[in-house]
Amino acid sequence: MVGGGPGAFIGAVHNRAATLDGLAVLVAGAFSSDAAKSRAQGETYGLSAKRVYGSFMEMAEREAALTADERIEFVSIVTPNHMHFPVAKAFIERGIHVVCDKPLTTTLEDAEELCRLVKKHNVVFALTHAYVAYPMVKQARALVQEGKLGTVRKVVVEYSQGWLSQPLEQTGSKQADWRTDPARAGAGAIGDIGTHAEHLARYVTGLEMEKLFADVASVVPGRRIDDDANMLVHYQGGARGILFCSQISVGEENRLAIRVYGTEASLEWHQEDPNFLCVRHANGPIETYKPGNGYLAPAAQRGTRMPAGHPEGLHEAFANLYGSAIRVMKARQDGVEPDPLDLDYPDVRDGAVGVHFIQTALRSGREGDWVDATYEAPGG
Amino acid sequence: MVGGGPGAFIGAVHNRAATLDGLAVLVAGAFSSDAAKSRAQGETYGLSAKRVYGSFMEMAEREAALTADERIEFVSIVTPNHMHFPVAKAFIERGIHVVCDKPLTTTLEDAEELCRLVKKHNVVFALTHAYVAYPMVKQARALVQEGKLGTVRKVVVEYSQGWLSQPLEQTGSKQADWRTDPARAGAGAIGDIGTHAEHLARYVTGLEMEKLFADVASVVPGRRIDDDANMLVHYQGGARGILFCSQISVGEENRLAIRVYGTEASLEWHQEDPNFLCVRHANGPIETYKPGNGYLAPAAQRGTRMPAGHPEGLHEAFANLYGSAIRVMKARQDGVEPDPLDLDYPDVRDGAVGVHFIQTALRSGREGDWVDATYEAPGG
Amino acid sequence: MVGGGPGAFIGAVHNRAATLDGLAVLVAGAFSSDAAKSRAQGETYGLSAKRVYGSFMEMAEREAALTADERIEFVSIVTPNHMHFPVAKAFIERGIHVVCDKPLTTTLEDAEELCRLVKKHNVVFALTHAYVAYPMVKQARALVQEGKLGTVRKVVVEYSQGWLSQPLEQTGSKQADWRTDPARAGAGAIGDIGTHAEHLARYVTGLEMEKLFADVASVVPGRRIDDDANMLVHYQGGARGILFCSQISVGEENRLAIRVYGTEASLEWHQEDPNFLCVRHANGPIETYKPGNGYLAPAAQRGTRMPAGHPEGLHEAFANLYGSAIRVMKARQDGVEPDPLDLDYPDVRDGAVGVHFIQTALRSGREGDWVDATYEAPGG
Amino acid sequence: MVGGGPGAFIGAVHNRAATLDGLAVLVAGAFSSDAAKSRAQGETYGLSAKRVYGSFMEMAEREAALTADERIEFVSIVTPNHMHFPVAKAFIERGIHVVCDKPLTTTLEDAEELCRLVKKHNVVFALTHAYVAYPMVKQARALVQEGKLGTVRKVVVEYSQGWLSQPLEQTGSKQADWRTDPARAGAGAIGDIGTHAEHLARYVTGLEMEKLFADVASVVPGRRIDDDANMLVHYQGGARGILFCSQISVGEENRLAIRVYGTEASLEWHQEDPNFLCVRHANGPIETYKPGNGYLAPAAQRGTRMPAGHPEGLHEAFANLYGSAIRVMKARQDGVEPDPLDLDYPDVRDGAVGVHFIQTALRSGREGDWVDATYEAPGG
């Protein structure tokens, strides 16, 4: 693991997720650019001191020098956004698989460079848009793919939070500090959570954006970065929609939600109540799907560890994503075809689409006009 | 009553609402421009044949000729949209109060003419944006007015229906027929339900629009009118928001919903579950307000007829609106000051704002650009 | 109307319900045993003074003396419980149909006498267990009748309120006063709301009780009547269940709710959210039925006045019950067969079953043992 | 770990929970009484072959023979119920701490023997009534302890499942097989899930039962054990309540739910939506508490790993329970006082209370009468 030092919460989430199903064990890390802090964090994980590094480059070099049996099989990158690129690059170039937090990078150039590197070095690269690994999101996608909704006409997706509704970055919060710093975060709400919304919509519907119009704001006085954005979207093929994200929506904790309206039926899902998927028909009772049941699509049946009615949450969704990536790594190592159900993890090219989306949204916001949102990431 | 002939549902709703609390009795009507149909409808209401008219003008003239004791005290206009103007004009000019369905008119000129006529003839004119007369919407407004939300920053309001997701107008549906005919409806989803959303947001927050950007579509092949619109809105004073309306959102019945985010707290209300108002705070449990309770604001305590927990619905909201308008009529007749709590009914100037909104949205949709949405109705 | 004087809320509910659909008009009443109060109430209803009576007997006698054209077609009895019997008797014996609030009477002897009188005088007698006239309760019943649940195995029904969790009867509340007075109410929570639960379960499932075991309490210090009761029930045919009612469940407003578990599926309905009926299957998504939709059973399609998604509530349920009773009265008057869908209103024999249930529950509570609950009302 | 061989789901749950926070690592196990199966399971966990045993006794003896540094610090017992006793006894007598699945034993004698052994050997013994380790259940308990509900008057607790609504035990299901076998399970629904309900009520309210009346049934034809039970309960101090459990409530997945009514307020919690705790007041909006927030009681703030709005589920609740037990073990090892917040884990004496409850309920069911439910476990 790179990143995840004291004060970060997402590092521990990655660790729990990666190890939940016994598919991985944390054996090495560069948890902070401060060697002492990195060491201290390594101790809390019970790591051997010689596998705890003072910098990601040291880690990449020394791990790569180990034998295949000894060295890490993949690295989890959980640093602030601006470090994703150099860290990922260092490991990819050494042939080490990567699981990286989102957004992929802070510039499109970096994102595309990673796409090319991943292709060149033929590594697995998973991006932790973990929300799509909830069983009910997989079910949503399956319903669209099976045609149960007919042709998709409208998508309403949002990610609303309230934790930055006050100028928290002026109070010493580490999380707020880097996430509102343009240099380290690249973008604000759009980058931090808007990309989750963008990815969720794309994952569920399979639709690519054609153009978008964004109304981008820094609502909190003194904030240096976007904290609220409302967008109109046209998708390729004719569907339209709304995408909005906000970190000033006071009272909202983590309201990621999506609705998809087709010609035949529609669906709705809320991340804060992730084990309920609502499907509405033109003429029939509303249906609510729940995990762990035999009536679900195969992709949705996987990724539930307990019988129906025993709630699983975001750790498990994260673990599902890790599980898919790790199983694909193993399949490659074993020279076998991976299970097709494992190939739906968000990858480096999804990351580039996300970075392109961020930049497109920011540009539309600056220009006050529709902006072409079509994009194809390299490395395909 | 004018309109509300066979096949219309809203006429009966108006009648039930107007009479629910015993404040009014239906005594006369011109239910259809077809005299026989009008007569037939009059009979189902048990009206005296001589008070059932073959045209609105006949009704206006003959009622006005009756003595004050005999003649109607007000007229309810429940015709298709394009008839609102001539009917309203006929009665206003004869000094008869009006309760009119929304949207006010199909042109802004007509709307403004009505504003001027209402002022000139000093009649009460209530527009049945009945959704704002639910007790929990009144509570929402009171919370904003009391400052419980702080300064409003963001408004998300929607009105989603699915009943026109197929080309119903090609199947002989009377409702679908006139509501998708540009000549009779003036506008489609924006006029039919978008105005409800616009009014709801304005009623709850007290904010006036500054400008808007609308993405307007006729999604169903062959449809001659807008059936889906997604809008970005800037309100005067700096708040921003989203307003969307749709009649092609399959599976949705009548999803009018609003969220208002302030600096201190936010609120959320759903019309299909009207007796629950959710308030979220920066740091405290989520609160759910319910009607009929002593902790509500005075405006919200009124308008509930049964003890808490005995659900009331849209008929009662309609009746609340009628009740306010009728009490104001009586107060005028009695030469006394009306109860301030009765003065919140949507009036003719709200109607003009609504028509201006419709036209602004359609224009923005045509032009693909932000359009100035500021407006002050005449007759103030 | 008999009863419904100042301070009573249920009288106004009956009046609104009876007149909502234009099937009835209030023309006469004995609103209070205090003639002045009766007169005052009559004026608020705009009644002719000569049709406002100082006692129910005066009303019964004088109305009966009018011609068939002039006299009331039926009487609504909305007095405290102990007056139901003499009032109903007076009108039945004069051949006047009755709509009576529940519970039917305070003694089983009286209830049975009414059953016999109703049969003898061949009048329509409807008891306002209005909750079963919600469209979604009718749908629930239809689902059971159609066999969608399979054989019913378990029923959980409750009616929880909190309004008597403090000794309100010691503070001058008129409602609390008579409802906690054994002489006027007959029974407390069991009579006031437990009978609703009993009737709801019977209406939905069609099951008759075989025996019950009741734990009956007067929880609030100083209370002279039961305010909380928890019961175990065996139904004829083998189903079992729980029935509980409470007026000391603080925070509950009017939580009447039922669950029915069959061999194939189960259903759940909550009165405070009456437009949602939940059906769960052994293997399939949860279904939520809503009113106003074409997929509903005929009995559930009736009784909705507005398109789907326009909430109706308890007034409309009451009006549905009144509508059925009135249509049956008219059919009898016209000498035609009533619509079978109208014959599901709760009648005098349901009332006797309810009174028998109350007495059985109280007896079980006193004896601390199972009590035979089988019963067949006379007059069948 | 003892138990948790192929086909068992709860063993994996224990393992994930025990290791989620890095407080424990699985190092040894006797996963099956079939040595080959045990070995196979050990391999899936990546254990050293010499720490995988063919019987629990072999494991107990050989682990006890290792040095303190080498040997297991505690054992997790996840066998069918009838094996809990001998396994626990073997480890307790060797001074090894125990985490054991519920119910504690199949006889009260065994349960009491374990209580005495735990006291004698001074080991930590945690019983995995994991549902009480959800943050919102801890908040519920804190609200009662803080007096926010006033004096508790009524408790309604249920645990409804539908998975045994068909005779699944006749189809080869391993889970259904042993859970419906009186010899291995001891009791059916009452033992499997009724004890969870009993414990949840006791944990939240702090109340001990005084007497109970149980209606116990084997609903599914051919079933040899109880699969549905409805109970009336009197608690010491005067509160009353209902407790019901069922495995034939078709359509229910895992509906464990509790309501507690006090003199001042009431609360409601549902296990299938565990991150919402509802509190209702006599006069005030309904409150909904959610995890991860600063307004929660200290006991509820612990046990959430991610920011508010990132759902955690039953694995995390299990991990909370393991965490408390492990921290208490460490404190004892270190000779320091444990954190009082860790001392709320269910222990061996809670287990004995649970077994006493099962036997009391079964006896009441057999006798058809109230049965004294007071009990004090030995070892206090």
Q: How high is the pLDDT of residue B66?
A: 95
Position C7 pLDDT exceeds 80: no
Centre a 10 Å sphere on the Cβ of residue A380 and count the other Cβ atoms it contains: 7
| Residue C317 resides in a domain | no
Q: How high is the pLDDT of residue A380?
A: 84
C284 chain-A contacts, CB cut-off 8 A: 295
To the nearest 10°, report the CA torsion of D62, D68, D73, D74.
40
D230 chain-C contacts, CB cut-off 8 A: 232, 240-242
For residues D160 and D254, what is the distance between their CA atoms, to the nearest angstrom? Answer: 6
Nearest Cα to Cα of residue D323 among D123, D71, D196, D133: D133
D261 chain-C contacts, CB cut-off 8 A: 162, 165, 246, 248-252
CB atoms B285 and D283 under 8 Å: no
Please write the tens of the pLDDT for every residue from B137-148.
999 999 999 999
Please write the tens of the pLDDT for every residue from D254-271.
999 999 999 999 999 999
C370 in Cβ contact with C212 (< 8 Å): yes
C219 chain-D contacts, CB cut-off 8 A: 153-154, 240
For residues A257 and D135, what is the distance between their CA atoms, to the nearest angstrom? Answer: 24
Same domain, A124 and A55: yes
Based on the number of CB atoms within 10 Å of its own CB, is A302 exposed (0-12), middle (13-18) or buried (19 or more)? Answer: middle
Alpha helix (H) residue ranges in chain B: 10-19, 35-44, 56-64, 84-92, 108-121, 135-145, 174-179, 182-185, 189, 195-205, 298-301, 314-334, 348-367
**Residue-averaged pLDDT of chain B:** 95
- Of the ranges B339-353, C16-30, C99-113, which one carries the lowest mean pLDDT score? C16-30
Same domain, B169 and B296: yes
Same domain, A67 and A211: no
D106 in Cβ contact with D85 (< 8 Å): yes
Mean pLDDT of D76-89: 95
Position D191 pLDDT exceeds 80: yes
Q: How high is the pLDDT of residue C165?
A: 96
Same domain, D173 and D210: yes
Q: How far is A229 from chain D (nearest CA, A)?
A: 20
CB atoms B162 and A282 under 8 Å: yes
D220 in Cβ contact with D247 (< 8 Å): no
Band (A305; pLDDT cuts 50, 70, 90): very high
Same domain, B281 and B155: yes
| Residue D18 resides in a domain | yes
Based on the number of CB atoms within 10 Å of its own CB, is B70 exposed (0-12), middle (13-18) or buried (19 or more)? Answer: exposed
- The set of residues, in sequence order, having a beta carbon less than 8 Å from that of B94 and lying 6+ positions away, is B60, B61, B63, B64
Q: How high is the pLDDT of residue A213?
A: 98
A2 in Cβ contact with A56 (< 8 Å): yes
Q: If residue A364 lies in a helix (H) or strand (E), which one and from where to where?
A: helix A348-367
Position A167 pLDDT exceeds 90: yes
Instruction: Return the residue of A nearest to B286 by Cα.
Output: A251
D131 chain-A contacts, CB cut-off 8 A: none
Sign of the alpha-carbon torsion through B174, B179, B182, B183: positive
Which residues of D make CB contacts under 8 Å with C? 153-154, 156, 162, 165-166, 213, 215, 217, 219, 228, 230, 232, 234, 240-242, 244, 246, 248-252, 261-266, 279-282, 286, 368-370
Position B44 pLDDT exceeds 90: no
Band (B328; pLDDT cuts 50, 70, 90): very high
Q: How far is C131 from chain D (nearest CA, A)?
A: 23
Of B76, B95, B130, the domain-final residue = B130
Q: How many CB pairs under 8 A join A and C?
A: 30
Encode B147-159: b = buried (16+ Cβ within 10 Å), e = exposed. ebbbebbbbbbbb
Based on the number of CB atoms within 10 Å of its own CB, is B226 exposed (0-12), middle (13-18) or buried (19 or more)? Answer: buried
Segments forming the whole domain that contains residue C231: 134-301+348-367
Band (A46; pLDDT cuts 50, 70, 90): confident
For residues A247 and A187, what is the distance between their CA atoms, to the nearest angstrom? Answer: 12
Of D106, D130, D154, the domain-final residue = D130
Same domain, A358 and A261: yes
Q: How high is the pLDDT of residue C126?
A: 98
Please write the tens of the pLDDT for every residue from B214-259.
999 999 999 999 999 999 999 999 999 999 999 999 999 999 999 9
% of chain C beyond a pLDDT of 90 = 88
Q: How high is the pLDDT of residue A180?
A: 86
Band (D184; pLDDT cuts 50, 70, 90): confident
* Helix and strand totals (H; E) in chain A: 13, 13
Band (A186; pLDDT cuts 50, 70, 90): confident
Domain count across chain C: 2
Give rounded-to-5 percent helix, strand, coil for chain C. 40, 20, 40
Same domain, D190 and D69: no
**Residue-averaged pLDDT of chain A:** 95
Same domain, C99 and C146: no
% of chain D beyond a pLDDT of 90 = 88
* Helix and strand totals (H; E) in chain B: 13, 13
Position C178 pLDDT exceeds 90: no
Q: How far is A213 from chain B (nearest CA, A)?
A: 9
For residues D131 and D42, what is the distance between their CA atoms, to the nearest angstrom? Answer: 28
Band (D312; pLDDT cuts 50, 70, 90): very high
B116 in Cβ contact with B274 (< 8 Å): no
Same domain, C97 and C142: no
For residues B140 and D192, what is the distance between their CA atoms, to the nearest angstrom? Answer: 46
C20 chain-B contacts, CB cut-off 8 A: 16, 20, 315
Same domain, A155 and A123: no
For residues D197 and D230, what is the distance between their CA atoms, to the nearest angstrom? Answer: 12
| Residue B93 resides in a domain | yes
- The set of residues, in sequence order, having a beta carbon less than 8 Å from that of C74 and lying 6+ positions away, is C24, C96, C97, C98, C99, C124, C325, C326, C329
| Residue C47 resides in a domain | yes
Position C45 pLDDT exceeds 90: no
Band (C141; pLDDT cuts 50, 70, 90): very high
Identify the residue with better confidence: B10 or A60: A60
Q: How high is the pLDDT of residue B304?
A: 95
For residues B30 and B32, what is the distance between their CA atoms, to the nearest angstrom? Answer: 6
Of A114, A130, A146, the domain-final residue = A130
| Residue D333 resides in a domain | no
Mean pLDDT of A280-307: 96
| Residue D319 resides in a domain | no
C290 chain-A contacts, CB cut-off 8 A: 285-286
Substitution target in C9, C13, C16 with the highest count of B β-carbons within 10 Å is: C16
Q: How many CB pairs under 8 A join C and D?
A: 116
Position B187 pLDDT exceeds 90: no
Coil, helix or strand for D4? coil
Per the structure block, which two tokens stand in for B287? 């609160």
Instruction: Return the residue of A nearest to C293 by Cα.
Output: A283
Same domain, B160 and B71: no
Please write the tens of the pLDDT for every residue from C13-37.
999 999 999 899 899 999 998 999 9
Whole-prediction pTM value? 0.96
Position C4 pLDDT exceeds 90: no
- The set of residues, in sequence order, having a beta carbon less than 8 Å from that of B238 and lying 6+ positions away, is B153
Band (B178; pLDDT cuts 50, 70, 90): confident
Q: How high is the pLDDT of residue D186?
A: 78
CB atoms B242 and A248 under 8 Å: no
B244 chain-A contacts, CB cut-off 8 A: 156, 242
- The set of residues, in sequence order, having a beta carbon less than 8 Å from that of B101 and lying 6+ positions away, is B3, B10, B14, B77, B78, B79, B81, B84, B127, B128
Per the structure block, which two tokens stand in for A259? 């609705």
| Residue A219 resides in a domain | yes
Q: How high is the pLDDT of residue D173?
A: 84
CB atoms D215 and C232 under 8 Å: yes
For residues B140 and C261, what is the distance between their CA atoms, to the nearest angstrom? Answer: 39
Q: How high is the pLDDT of residue D104?
A: 96
For residues B277 and B142, what is the distance between their CA atoms, to the nearest angstrom? Answer: 12
Substitution target in A268, A283, A286 with the highest count of C β-carbons within 10 Å is: A286
For residues C375 and C202, what is the distance between their CA atoms, to the nearest angstrom? Answer: 13
CATH number of the domain within which C65 lies:
3.40.50.720
Substitution target in B16, B131, B276 with the highest count of C β-carbons within 10 Å is: B16
Q: How high is the pLDDT of residue A342?
A: 97
| Residue B247 resides in a domain | yes
Please write the tens of the pLDDT for every residue from C114-133.
999 999 999 999 999 999 99
Position C176 pLDDT exceeds 90: no
CB atoms B287 and D290 under 8 Å: no
Nearest Cα to Cα of residue B149 among B282, B292, B23, B31: B282
A164 in Cβ contact with A249 (< 8 Å): no
B246 chain-C contacts, CB cut-off 8 A: none
Same domain, D7 and D144: no
Q: How high is the pLDDT of residue D183?
A: 84
Q: How high is the pLDDT of residue A176?
A: 84
Beta-ladder partners of D260: D155, D267
Mean pLDDT of B115-125: 98
CB atoms A165 and B282 under 8 Å: yes
CATH number of the domain within which B252 lies:
3.30.360.10
For residues D261 and C251, what is the distance between their CA atoms, to the nearest angstrom? Answer: 8
B288 chain-D contacts, CB cut-off 8 A: 285-288
Per the structure block, which two tokens stand in for A120? 């060149």
Identify the residue with better confidence: C6 or C305: C305
Per the structure block, which two tokens stand in for D272? 């299938």
Nearest Cα to Cα of residue D232 among D95, D364, D51: D364
Which residues of C make CB contacts under 8 Å with B? 9, 12-13, 15-16, 19-22, 44-46, 161, 163, 252-255, 271-275, 290, 292, 305-316
Q: How far is C148 from chain A (nearest CA, A)?
A: 14
